[in-house]
Amino acid sequence: MERMIEKEQERSGGSKKTPWPRYEAAALGFRNYWYPALLSRRLGRKPVSLRMLGEDLVFFRYEGKVYALQDLCPHRGMPLSQGKCEFPGTPTISCCYHGWTFDITNGQLVAAITDGPDSPLIGKVQVHSYPVEERKGVIWVYIGNGEPVPLEEDVPEVFLQPDTVVASRITVRKGNWRLAAENGLDPVHATYLHRTAWVSFLLSFPAWRGRVVPDIDGRWVGYKDDLVWECEYPGLGRFPRSRRWWKRIPFGAGDTIVVHLRLPGFLRVTNWPRLETDHYEWYEPIDEHQYRYFQFKVRRTSGLGALWFRIEYQLLWRWLADKQFNDQDKWVIALMEPFYAERAGWNKERLFRQDVVLTTWRKFASENARAVQDRCTS
């Protein structure tokens, strides 16, 4: 373990004395975890290729079940996703170049079309096969080697139960995933950055948060604080300038929102964007400079309630919360990216007392992550 950490530290580029060495090395995220990949309805008969944590994967659906392979023929490096099923009715994909044919259920080479039926390759070549599960309309994949942990270890219970509804939005964003994860957990940016979001017309965010104290609850990193609703800055003025009377009605429930972040990098926001609905978001590295952003709204309901929730989501929260509100985060993360990617922001940043939640997360992740994703895995 010590040697592995040292090797990971070397990859981080030599900033040897950081208090969170494995976190700083994790530009491509953490390995040996289950990640969401895509929505069930996006995967039909055509294979879907995705880059995740710097690796190329291809997803197949065969007789209803989902499979994932490394999207790289070992022969000459062609993407398998460019191939086709040459033998209809079999769970196989044939590489477009020389017809190397793999069993999509386990990655084993079962034929090499241009090498005849007696090909000595058979049984000797395989591509990595990723464990896959499909739940609540989401396809999950285990990025790691060896036996995967149970899905239940990494995916919150609500995604696995029958009586919950999950509404989702997936986008690709610029910036390293850690900047997005830290932004999600950050207790105080909402106060200022999101003051102009449309939902903030009704919803109150505190003027600032006093005594912010990190709070690690099992696998979740969160915080406790004292909300201060109005504030006078001497010589400058009030912030917010005026607190509308209707915001004093406990309607928006700004003080019921609770935020927690968890490995390998996903957030739970309780009671967001409204009471009795929780929000989950995953920051999934595509490469060092892009991440796939999963937004899930989850409610425990079914039947007509579920239908109503889906309508409410499509009409309201998808646009007000997932898009307009969170696009403000998208904006700042893209603006931060050059500072951390080109100008050694990890060493140059000047954190303040409210950032103790972020540094707690960094240390927690550095110490508890199962493995750091290497830049040269595939």
In the complex, the residues that contact a second copy under the rule CB under 8 A are 72, 74-79, 82, 86-90, 92, 94, 96-99, 101, 110-117, 119-121, 125, 188-189, 191-193, 207-210, 228, 231-237, 239, 332, 335-336, 338-340, 343, 345, 348-354, 378
Smallest gap from residue 215 Cβ to a second copy (A)? 19
- Which residues fall within 8 angstroms of residue 201, CB to CB, at 6 or more apart? none
Smallest gap from residue 136 Cβ to a second copy (A)? 34
**Coil, strand or helix: which one is 220?**
strand
Cβ nearer to a second copy, comparing 99 with 131: 99
- Which residues fall within 8 angstroms of residue 157, CB to CB, at 6 or more apart? none
**Coil, strand or helix: which one is 348?**
helix
Place of tokens 């009605």: 249
Contact 186, 357 (CB under 8 A): yes
Cβ nearer to a second copy, comparing 55 with 278: 55
Cβ nearer to a second copy, comparing 40 with 377: 377
Cβ nearer to a second copy, comparing 236 with 304: 236
CA distances from 359 to 180, 313, 327 (A): 14, 34, 24
Smallest gap from residue 238 Cβ to a second copy (A)? 9
**Coil, strand or helix: which one is 56?**
strand
Cβ nearer to a second copy, comparing 3 with 124: 124
Cβ nearer to a second copy, comparing 158 with 203: 203
Cβ nearer to a second copy, comparing 89 with 150: 89
Smallest gap from residue 301 Cβ to a second copy (A)? 35
Cβ nearer to a second copy, comparing 119 with 164: 119
Q: Cα separation of 177 and 183, whole Å?
A: 10
Q: Cα separation of 135 and 152, whole Å?
A: 11
Q: Cα separation of 107 and 270, whole Å?
A: 40
For the packed helices 177-185 and 326-341, what is the interaxial angle rounded to 10 degrees?
130
Strand order in the sheet with 138-143: 33-39, 138-143, 132-135
Cβ nearer to a second copy, comparing 250 with 338: 338
Strand order in the sheet with 100-103: 92-94, 100-103, 109-112
For 198-217, letters b (16+ CB in 10 Å) and e give: ebbebbbbbbbbeebebeee
Smallest gap from residue 154 Cβ to a second copy (A)? 28
**Residue 271, Ramachandran bin (φ over 0: left; ψ between -120 and 50: alpha; else beta):** left
Smallest gap from residue 22 Cβ to a second copy (A)? 21
Q: Cα separation of 128 and 272, whole Å?
A: 38
Smallest gap from residue 208 Cβ to a second copy (A)? 5
Cβ nearer to a second copy, comparing 117 with 150: 117
Tell me which amino acid residue 96 is. C
Smallest gap from residue 341 Cβ to a second copy (A)? 10
Smallest gap from residue 114 Cβ to a second copy (A)? 4
CA distances from 262 to 33, 139, 169, 222, 259 (A): 12, 20, 20, 9, 10
Smallest gap from residue 130 Cβ to a second copy (A)? 19
